[in-house]
Amino acid sequence: MQQAHQPSLSIKDYLKGELESEVRHEFYDGQVSAMAGAGRNHNKISLNIASRLRQGSRGTSCSSFMADMKLYIAELERFYYPDILLSCDELDNHEYYSEKPCLVVEVLSPSTEGIDRREKLHAYQNIPSLHEYVMVAQDEQKVELYRRDGEHWQYFLLNANDTLQLECIEIALPMRDIYEDVVFKPRDEVIAN
C-alpha cells in the first residue's frame, strides 16, 4: 500500500501556520512534523542550562532562547526548534527564528534522540556561525559536545564529575548545575507513569 504524498509547503506558508498553530512543527523539505511535548527532567535540564546562558550573556551582544525560537538553516531550507540556542550576532534578529547561532543544545528524548544524533547533527554542522553543538542525556549525567575547530569538528564526552566548557560565550557549566534538581528514573518507569 502506498502512502499518500502530501503537497510541499512553502516557507512563507509554514511560518504563517506556525503563528496560528497551538502545536509547534519542524519544517524539512516542504513537509512539517509536529513536535512532541517534553517531560519533567527535560524541562529542568533545559531551564538549568538556559538560565546559566542568560546570566552569562547579560551585557553582551549574545541572546539565549529556549524551546520556542526556531532555527532556520537557509542552505537546507529547514526549520528546527532546538531546546536551547545562543546567538551572538547582532544581525541575527528575526522575530521568529535565528539563522546564526554559535551554540545549539538538544536535550535527548527517547522519541527524538536518533534525529538529534544524525539528521540534526549533520544539519547543524552546515551552519557557518555554529561553533558548538551539545547533546544532553536526561536519564544519566552525560553530555556530548561537538566543537568546530577550523574545518573539522571535535567530539568530547563528559560524565558526572566533568564541567562543560563553552567557548562560544566562555561559560563553565559543572554537571551538578546542568542536572540540578533532576531525579533519574529508569526509562520504563518514566513511560509507565
Q: Model confidence over 76-108: pLDDT tens digits?
A: 999 999 999 999 999 999 999 999 999 999 999
d(CA 159, CA 17) in angstroms, rounded, equals 40
Does residue 118 fall inside a structural domain?
Answer: yes
What average pLDDT does the chain have? 89
pLDDT at 117 over 60: yes
Contact 127, 49 (CB under 8 A): no
Give residue 49's pLDDT: 97
Residue 83 structural domain: 38-70+79-192
Does residue 116 fall inside a structural domain?
Answer: yes
Which residue type sits at 78? R
What count of Cα atoms within 13 Å lies in the side-chain half-sphere of residue 143? 27
d(CA 159, CA 36) in angstroms, rounded, equals 27
Number of domains in the chain: 1
CATH code of the domain containing 163: 3.90.1570.10
